[in-house]
Structure 1
Amino acid sequence: MYSFFVDPSQIQGNTIIITGNDVKHIKNVLRMKVGEELSVRSGVDEREYRCGIEAMEEEQIVCRLRFVKEEGMELPSKVYLFQGLPKADKMELIIQKAVELGVHEIIPVSAKRAVVKLDEKKAKAKRERWQAIAESAAKQSKRSIVPQVKEVMTMKEAVRYAADIEVRLIPYELAEGMQKTKDIISSLKKEQSVAIFIGPEGGFEESEIGEAVESGIVPVTLGKRILRTETAGFTVLAWIMYQLEE
C-alpha cells in the first residue's frame, strides 16, 4: 500500500486532503483511481490513517478516512546519526538506509578530514536534496515520521548538540575491546536517546576524538576490520535496531 505524509492541518475529521507534489505522483505515476486505498501519516505521531480516494481534483486529492491504526513503525528510542561528510553521493545512500533502519535524526558533520567542503549556498541545496531523500525513504519503509536532516555542523557544534543525548558512541579504529561494545549495545533500554558519531573517509582526527571523549562520548570498536564510512553507520544502526525492536 502506498504511503504519504501530510501536514496535520490537512487531516480534517474524516476528510484528509493531499496536496503538493504527491498529487501528480498519485495521478500520473501511480495512476490511482477513486475508491483505491492509501495510507496517510502526519509525521508528528505514530498514527496511520487508512483512507480511500474520494475525489481527484486538479491541485488536491480528497480522501475519506476508513480507520486509524495506532501502532506505529518507530523504534522505542530516538537514534541520532552524526555523519562525517563523505565523498561524492555517498551521503544520499547513507540517509536513505539510515531512515530505513529507524534513525530519528541525521546531522551532517564537517569533520577536519572530510574531503567535501560546502559553502552556505551549496549546503542549503544539499540539505533540501537530502531531506527529500529522507522523506522518500520514510514513505517506502512505512515510517510514522520523516527524520530530519539538520544543517551541516562542525565537530564542535555537533558535540555540543549531542550534550543532552543519554548514550553517545563514537566508533574509532584505535578503540579496543569488542566486549565493551557488546555490553553497551545490549544494555540499551527503550526510550533512551542514542547518538552515533561516524567519521568521514579517513576517520576523525585525534583532536576530534579527544574533544568527543572530554564531553563524555564513548569510543567503541566495531571489530577487527576497518569499515567504510557508510558501512560503519549501518552496522551500528542495525545492532541498535536489533536490540530495541519489539
Structure 2
Amino acid sequence: MPMLFILKELEIGEEIIISGEEAHHIGRVLRYRPGDVIRISDGKSVESLGVILDIDSRSTKIKLKIVDKNKSKGIKPFITLLQGLPKGEKFDLIIQKSTEIGVGKIIPIITQRTVANIPPSKLPQRKERWNKIAKEAAKQSMRINIPEVGEPLAFDAALYEIKNHQLSIIPWEQETQMTLKQLLNQVNGNVTKVAVFIGPEGGFSAEEVKKAKELGAVPVSLGPRILRTETAAITLCGILMYELGDMGGL
C-alpha cells in the first residue's frame, strides 16, 4: 500500500483530489483502481486511510475519500543528527539513509575542518532539495513523519542541542577510554532523545570535542577502523535505532 503525504489535517468522510506526480505514480505506475486503499500521512503524527473514488486519466487526477485516521506513537528514540557538512553530494545520501533508519531531525553543522561552502544565495534551493530528499525517503520507507532538515549551524551554536537530549554522542578517532559498546551497555533503556555529532571529512578537532564534552556529550570510539563521514552517520544512527528503538523488531 503506497504512502501519500498531504501536509494538513484530514477528517473522516472528507473528499480530496490528488494530482500531478503523485496521481501519475498511483494511477499509471502502480495501476491502482477505484476501491483501492492508500495510506495518507500529515507528515507528522497522523496516518489516514483513503479509498479511491475515481481516477481521471485524462487530467491525471485521483479523487479519494478519507475512511479512517489514527495517531501514530512516533519513532523512538528521537535522534537528532548534527552532521558536519561534507563535500559534494554526500549530505544528500546522509539525509536519505538517515530518514530510512528513522532519524527525527538532521542539522548540518559548520566545524573547524568543514571544507564545503554554501553561498547564502544558494541556501534556499539547497534546503528545498534536502527536504525533498527527506520526503521521498520517508515515503519509500513507509514512515509516517518526515524528518526536519534544519538550517546550517556553526559548531558552537549546535552544542546547545546537547541540553535538549538525554544522551549526546560524539564519535572521535582519538578517544581511548570509552567505546560505543561500553556506552550503550551503561545507557538506561528509557532514553528517548539522542543527539549524534558527526564530523566532516577531516573529523572534529580536539578543541571541539573538549567543548562538547564539557557540555555533556560523550566522546566514543567506533572501533579500530576509520569510517567516512557518511558511513559513520548511517552506521551510528542504525546501531542506536537497533539498540534503543524498533529496528530489531518489537
Structure 2-normalised TM-score? 0.87
Give me the whole-angstrom Cα distance separating, in 2, the residues matched to 1:54 and 1:89: 41
Give me the whole-angstrom Cα distance separating, in 2, the residues matched to 1:181 and 1:32: 46
* Pairing 1:131–2:112 present: no
What is residue 38 of structure 2 aligned with on the other side? 38
Aligned partners of 1:17 and 1:60 also within 8 Å = no
* Pairing 1:242–2:246 present: no
Give me the whole-angstrom Cα distance separating, in 2, the residues matched to 1:4 and 1:18: 12
Distance 1:37 1:13, change over 3 A: closer
Superposed displacement of residue 4, structure 1: 0.9
Give me the whole-angstrom Cα distance separating, in 2, the residues matched to 1:118 and 1:128: 14
What is residue 63 of structure 1 aligned with on the other side? 64
Q: Name the aligned partner's letter for residue 166 of structure 1.
A: Q
Aligned partners of 2:161 and 2:195 also within 8 Å = no
Superposed displacement of residue 119, structure 1: 1.8
Distance 1:71 1:160, change over 3 A: closer
Superposed displacement of residue 93, structure 1: 0.7
Give me the whole-angstrom Cα distance separating, in 2, the residues matched to 1:69 and 1:43: 13
How many residue pairs get aligned? The number is 242
Distance 1:146 1:159, change over 3 A: same
Superposed displacement of residue 97, structure 1: 0.4
Unaligned runs of 5+ in 1: none
Distance 1:36 1:189, change over 3 A: same
What is residue 228 of structure 1 aligned with on the other side? 228
Superposed displacement of residue 17, structure 1: 2.3
Give me the whole-angstrom Cα distance separating, in 2, the residues matched to 1:63 and 1:191: 40
Distance 1:194 1:19, change over 3 A: same
Superposed displacement of residue 197, structure 1: 0.2
Superposed displacement of residue 62, structure 1: 2.7
What is residue 110 of structure 2 aligned with on the other side? 110
Q: Is the deviation greater in 14-23 or in 214-223?
A: 14-23
Aligned partners of 1:168 and 1:218 also within 8 Å = yes
Give me the whole-angstrom Cα distance separating, in 2, the residues matched to 1:119 and 1:202: 21
Unaligned runs of 5+ in 2: none
What is residue 48 of structure 1 aligned with on the other side? 47
Q: Name the aligned partner's letter for residue 17 of structure 1.
A: I
Superposed displacement of residue 123, structure 1: 2.0
Give me the whole-angstrom Cα distance separating, in 1, the residues matched to 2:121 and 2:35: 44
SS at match of 2:109: strand
Structure 1-normalised TM-score? 0.88
Superposed displacement of residue 30, structure 1: 4.2
SS at match of 1:227: coil
Give me the whole-angstrom Cα distance separating, in 1, the residues matched to 2:15 and 2:78: 28
SS at match of 2:216: coil
Give me the whole-angstrom Cα distance separating, in 2, the residues matched to 1:107 and 1:190: 24
Aligned partners of 2:83 and 2:108 also within 8 Å = yes
SS at match of 2:108: strand
* Pairing 1:173–2:153 present: no
Q: Calculate the aligned-residue CA RMSD, in Å.
A: 2.2
Superposed displacement of residue 32, structure 1: 3.5
Distance 1:90 1:13, change over 3 A: same
Give me the whole-angstrom Cα distance separating, in 2, the residues matched to 1:215 and 1:239: 24
SS at match of 1:162: helix
Q: Name the aligned partner's letter for residue 7 of structure 2.
A: D
Aligned partners of 1:6 and 1:18 also within 8 Å = no
**1:1-246 → structure 2 map (5 Å cutoff):** 1-9=1-9, 11-19=10-18, 21=20, 22-27=22-27, 29-45=29-45, 47-56=46-55, 61-68=62-69, 74-177=74-177, 180-186=179-185, 187-190=187-190, 192-243=192-243, 244-245=245-246, 246=250
Distance 1:136 1:18, change over 3 A: farther
Give me the whole-angstrom Cα distance separating, in 2, the residues matched to 1:16 and 1:91: 38
Superposed displacement of residue 60, structure 1: 5.7
Aligned partners of 2:159 and 2:215 also within 8 Å = yes
Superposed displacement of residue 174, structure 1: 0.3
